[in-house]
Structure 1
Amino acid sequence: MELDLWWLLLFPAFFALGWLAARVDMGTVLKQAKALPAGIFKGLDALVDDKTDVAAQSLSEVARQQPQASELALTLGKLYRKRGENDRAIRLHQGMLESPDVTPEGREQVSFELAQDFYRAGLVDRAEEILLGLLAGNMGRKARRQLLDIYQQDRDWLKAIDTARELRGDAHSFQHEVAQFYCELAQGELYRSELGKAREYVAEAFAANRKCVRASLIAGDIEFAAENYPAAIAAWQQIEKQNYEYLSMAAERLFDAYEKLGKPAEGIALLRGYSQAFPQLELSEILYEKVATYEGSARALSVTRDSVHARPSLAGAYRLIEAQIGELVTPEGRSDAELVRALVLKYAQRLTQHRCRRCNFRSRAFFWHCPACGEWESFTPNRSEG
């Protein structure tokens, strides 16, 4: 019972000690805050207002007054780099490396920042040299990530593959990227008509990612170049199981293969089936052209009308106007109809674009590698309006 009473008496003491510790800590914080140079607060305030020139000047003054503030110097270097003042960032980081006060861990961090300075300045070889020297240390993973960006920029796909595999981890396997790197190699060999080597790289791409649509497209292109048209058709039809949205990119290829086999009707039937099963595919234009060639303009108009009604678009509307302008428009109204058709085409070309799913970058051209954010296979294969 006495022990319980002693515990009750200790509770107020614990609260008192906690209050005293909080007061001491707060007093220390306030004391340290008063000791900070005013230039730091001026620089931070300028950064909040996005006045990077004022921030750089303020932090530079503080760094000169306190050379031992390495973290501040690193922040200042990043600010220089953001402003495009790569020469100043390089000089700052090189000066830090010459200081005897920099710790081994700090030297690695400064070296990594210097490599980024060189990379932004276009001195890629010097950046790569520094990053290779950091692979065995604490900055190894960050250095490899930066090296991967360099190898992609230089289109050195074999080094990119090796680096991506070294970066493989539980959070990110990099198999998606590796498959794309092999596709780049396969595409290059296909351009050189080295079909055997291209097949090997496509096989490696599938080994990395069985759902790689681009590998199926290239596999079909290889077989088409080898005049093995049934194999080309089989390769392109695999896209339906991988990601049907990319069938629009294989549509004309598929028809050309059927045409080479002397079976254009089967090619048209396949494309019509895709158009009905997947209305979101961009197939109205190719359907109009091929049906008009083999089945006549009246049949082409009917097929195009069905396609456009299933997936309304400005490009489809243009085709409908074009198909009917000679039959349904009087000679007096023909100039008006021509004007409307020209306007529809103009706005269709302006508004219809591919879009990156990751960063929302838009382009009339399709890219496998987004030029804005660097993501692979993120562009929508079917263009959208607006």
Structure 2
Amino acid sequence: MDFDLSWVLWGLPIAFVLGWLASRLDLRQLRIENRQAPKAYFRGLNFLLNEQQDQAIDAFIEAVQKDPDTSELHFALGNLFRRRGEYERAVRVHEHLLSRGDLSRADRHRAQHALALDFLKAGLLDRAEEALRKLEGTAYESQALLALLAIYERTRDWGQASEIAKKLDASGHGTFTARLAHYLCEQAAAAPPEKAEQLLREAIKIAPAAARPGIELAALQRRAGDAAGALDTLSRLAHSAPASIPLVSKALTEAALATGQQAQAMEILLTSYELSPSLDVLEGIVALEPDATVAREWYVKHLEREPSLVAATKWLAGEKLEHEQFHPHVQSALDHAVKPLTRYRCAACGFEAKQHFWQCPGCQAWDSYPARRVEEL
């Protein structure tokens, strides 16, 4: 059979023309898509910069619909939903990302972390915990561990919190020994006396410079009637945690009076007062001073060193005024005026309280309350 070359001569130009038309159509479609998607994306960014979050979300949704494979748009949209408190929509976005088979390993970890944050912000702590646990061994592991630590502290699961704190301490993300000591003290508060003493001594061993374990061990000993043991524990605090003496001056004074060891306690209080005059230490010194006249003179000595309305009020309580009938009213007014000055204040958030806290009720920070009253700060 003869092959007709004329078909080849006719076919080549036709194939060339068809190929050229197909390429032009592809390029045209690509240009249209490239014009549409970035336009919606940049419009969304513009709305976001102008704090118009509703319009930004609409623009990003439009961009995602036109280019559903763009993971960055999904992350931006999910973060916007979370910032607006629309946690259910944020969860859907990040779960959709995780369901994609073409997502890179790094983006998958990023989406898992974002999903955990969605659950955390929504208050779904059990689901947040499950999502955070899946980040072990990823670039987000340290952030996940810190988030887990916050969850366990919030739910007061001190055993789990201790495990996470040990992991963070071992991984070199700071020292968590003081935090571990607090967790042991929290467990001791709910334990029977023998177990509580064991936990508190373990806390002292873990964090010798921490004040709380020694203070709570001394309180446990006093409740058990062991005033001598309490005095010994508090005396050791003067060397291991001298800044805590204002917090234990009352307990130290009571233990000293119960055991007849006033001289030992007075020496500790005087040393602390000379280093840093404190109203609580001053009260301990006054309580241990056998001579009432000399004891009242301590308030005047304090006023010579530190201007203090609290000390002045206490000194005035023992004085006789010219118009004696007005003294109770004046004293009552002064006592009322100094109450705010005797509070403790969190150094992290400024939350004030009548009592000293180891963990701030306001911001949840640990060891943020100085051992000094508001007037002394």
Query: 157-166 or 371-380, which moves further after superposition?
Result: 371-380
Equivalent residue, structure 1, for 2:186: 184
The equivalent residue for 2:357 is: 367
Task: Verify: 1:73 aligned to 2:74, yes or no.
Answer: yes
**Corresponding residue for residue 176 of structure 2:** 174
What's the counterpart of residue 222 of structure 1? 220
CA distance in 1, matches of 2:344, 2:337: 15
Deviations 1:240-294 (A, max 9, x none): 2233221111111111212322556765665455434431453344555x369x6
Aligned match of 1:247: 245
Alignment of 1:117-156 (within 5 A): 117-156=118-157
1:199 is aligned to 197
Normalised to the residue count of structure 1, the TM-score between the two structures is 0.75
The verdict on how the C-alpha distance between 1:109 and 1:252 changes in structure 2, with shifts beyond 3 A counting, is: same
Residues of 2 paired with 1:57 and 1:82: CA distance? 15
- Residue 323 of structure 2 corresponds to which residue in structure 1? 330
Which residue in the other structure is 1:93 paired with? 94
Unaligned runs of 5+ in 2: 1-33
Normalising by structure 2, we get a TM-score of 0.77
> What's the CA shift for 1:227?
2.1
Aligned to 1:318: 313
Q: Structure 1 residues 202, 106: closer, same or farther in 2, change over 3 A? A: same
Q: Tell me, what secondary structure is at the counterpart of 2:367? A: coil
Contact 2:204 2:213 survives alignment (8 Å): yes
Shift of 1:328: 2.5
Secondary structure in structure 2 of the residue aligned to 1:227: coil
Q: Which runs of 5+ in 1 are unaligned?
A: 1-30
- Amino acid in structure 2 at the alignment position of 1:328: L
Task: Report the AA paired with residue 367 of structure 1.
Answer: F
CA distance in structure 1 between the aligned counterparts of 2:242 and 2:56, rounded to whole angstroms: 51
Q: Alpha carbons of 1:328 and 1:347: their partners in 2 closer, same or farther (altered >3 Å)? A: closer
Q: CA RMSD in A?
A: 3.2
Three-state SS of the structure 2 residue aligned to 1:312 is coil
Q: Name the larger-Rg structure.
A: 2
Closer, same or farther in 2 for the Cα pair 1:259/1:62, shift >3 Å?
farther
Where does 1:247-326 land on structure 2 (aligned, <5 Å)? 247-262=245-260, 267=265, 271-272=269-270, 274-280=272-278, 282-285=280-283, 287=285, 290=287, 295-296=291-292, 298-324=293-319
Q: How does 1:208-219 map to 2 (within 5 A)?
A: 208-219=206-217
Task: Give, as a single letter, the amino acid of the residue that structure 2 aligns with 1:305.
Answer: V
**AA in 2 matched with 1:76:** L
- Which moves more between the two structures, 92-101 or 240-249? 92-101
In 1, Cα distance between equivalents of 2:195 and 2:237? 22
Shift in CA distance, 184/91, structure 1 to aligned 2, threshold 3 Å: same
- Where does residue 41 of structure 1 map in the other structure? 45
Q: Is the alpha carbon distance of 1:321 and 1:58 closer, same or farther for their aligned partners in structure 2, counting shifts above 3 Å?
A: farther
Change (3 A) 1:291 1:54: farther
Q: Deviations over 1:118-143 (max 9, x none)?
A: 22222111111222233244433322
**CA deviation map 1:277-322 (0-9, x unaligned):** 431453344555x369x654x4442222223433332322221232
Instruction: For 2:50 and 2:167, locate their aligned partners in 1 and report how far apart those are by CA, in whole Å.
Output: 40
The equivalent of 2:10 in structure 1 is none
Residues 329-350 of structure 1 show CA distances to partners (whole Å, capped at 9, x for unaligned) of 3147x26x834x4454344333
Alignment: residue pair count: 339
Cα contact 1:119–1:127 (8 A) shared by 2:
yes
Cα pair distance change 1:215/1:57, threshold 3 Å = farther
Partner of 2:368: 378
